[in-house]
A = this chain, B = another copy of it.
């Protein structure tokens, strides 16, 4: 079968690989009908050492179940399913606490951590299929597929940022980052009742979409100037919650600058740093809380899918380009150049 491999920074190829097939009785084999490229795929696209490659890519997909192992009971051949970006049993003590991205099962993993499988491919072996896959009540060619595909990662991740930040009625929120996750953080904050949603981003096509998703204000400047602008918009206080959907230290510092005393910085951008300021000069003095991490999107699918099916939300609007597998290397380049926001892939 055909699949995408990354050989090193900037080097993405389409190649023939051995067919995915069932290995364990809890596996499912899924024929992929829609997948995509993630903003987080750009991190290795910038920095991957060729010595650690080649790596299979892609962690968001919808597909049709082709075969299931003997112990799989929740999905069957022919079902259209969506997969979270992490595999989990959905039954352990940590999953029961709705943190499926930290599942204790020995097969639990992010797709990016599973060798020889990936979502940017024709098919995929899904471990722990009962815990991982969720059946979709539409056909593979439904117009809702782009929005349903965001349940794999970016919608659930934006929603997790808002939930982990404690966004609710009357909350003021700053969203740092106008990528797909940031924009869906805006949508999520709106859905949860936030009163003021300030989107920090510099690309007008994206911030315009952010306004449609619910942003009340857009701040296009960064650094001290951006911080001053957010403070001006909030009576000097900053916002109760900051959703940090980037992952760079500069974004964390921006968050420190715009959060209100006693507020929360909720991070879902994968940190590209390990150490950062958290002492008296940053978090501690004013009881600023830090929350977030890899989103347990599995926990949110049941809650968010009805809103998509009912047309209440349309998160699929983050896709502004579609390609087949052959076009994926170009898709990486276009996302990296910020010519595309998010690329849908139809194998």
Asked if A289 is an interface residue, CB under 8 A from chain B, the answer is yes
User: Are A273 and B283 in contact, CB atoms less than 8 angstroms apart?
Assistant: no
Which one of A74-82, A95-103, A127-135, A335-343 is at the interface?
A95-103
Partner of A271, one of B99, B278, B288: B278
User: Are A270 and B289 in contact, CB atoms less than 8 angstroms apart?
Assistant: no
Report B-chain residues with C-beta under 8 Å of the C-beta of A271. 278-280, 284
Tell me, in angstroms, the Cα distance from A285 to B97 when the chains sit together.
16
Asked if A277 meets B275 with Cβ closer than 8 Å, knowing A287-B292, A287-B293, the reply is: yes
User: Are A281 and B285 in contact, CB atoms less than 8 angstroms apart?
Assistant: no
User: Are B279 and A273 in contact, CB atoms less than 8 angstroms apart?
Assistant: yes
User: Are B285 and A294 in contact, CB atoms less than 8 angstroms apart?
Assistant: yes
Report B-chain residues with C-beta under 8 Å of the C-beta of A278. 271, 274-276, 278, 290
Tell me, in angstroms, the Cα distance from A317 to B42 when the chains sit together.
57
Asked if A2 is an interface residue, CB under 8 A from chain B, the answer is no
Tell me, in angstroms, the Cα distance from A48 to B219 when the chains sit together.
43
Report B-chain residues with C-beta under 8 Å of the C-beta of A284. 267, 270-271, 292-294
Report B-chain residues with C-beta under 8 Å of the C-beta of A204. none
Asked if A313 is an interface residue, CB under 8 A from chain B, the answer is no
Asked if A294 meets B287 with Cβ closer than 8 Å, knowing A279-B274, A281-B274, the reply is: yes
Of chain B, the residue at the smallest CB distance from A235 is B93
User: Distance in Å from the Cβ of A337 to the closest Cβ of chain B?
Assistant: 26
User: Are B287 and A290 in contact, CB atoms less than 8 angstroms apart?
Assistant: no
Q: Please tell me the size bucket of the interface on A.
A: 35 or more
Of chain B, the residue at the smallest CB distance from A271 is B279
Asked if A261 is an interface residue, CB under 8 A from chain B, the answer is yes
User: Are B287 and A99 in contact, CB atoms less than 8 angstroms apart?
Assistant: yes
Report B-chain residues with C-beta under 8 Å of the C-beta of A290. 278, 283, 289-291
Tell me, in angstroms, the Cα distance from A286 to B294 when the chains sit together.
7
Asked if A164 is an interface residue, CB under 8 A from chain B, the answer is yes
Asked if A237 is an interface residue, CB under 8 A from chain B, the answer is yes
User: Are A277 and B274 in contact, CB atoms less than 8 angstroms apart?
Assistant: yes
Task: Fill in one digit per residue for A238-282: 1 if any B CB lies within 8 Å of its CB, else 0.
Answer: 000000000000000000000001100001001101111111111
Asked if A209 is an interface residue, CB under 8 A from chain B, the answer is no
Asked if A94 is an interface residue, CB under 8 A from chain B, the answer is yes
Which A residues have a C-beta under 8 Å from some C-beta of B? 93-94, 97, 99, 101-102, 164, 237, 261-262, 267, 270-271, 273-294, 296
Can you list 25 A-B contacts (CB < 8 A)? A94-B261, A99-B262, A99-B286, A101-B287, A102-B261, A102-B287, A267-B284, A270-B280, A271-B279, A271-B284, A274-B278, A274-B280, A274-B282, A275-B275, A275-B276, A275-B279, A276-B278, A278-B278, A284-B293, A286-B293, A287-B292, A287-B294, A287-B296, A289-B289, A289-B290
Known: A271-B280, A287-B294. 4 other contacts (CB 8 A): A93-B237, A101-B287, A102-B285, A275-B278
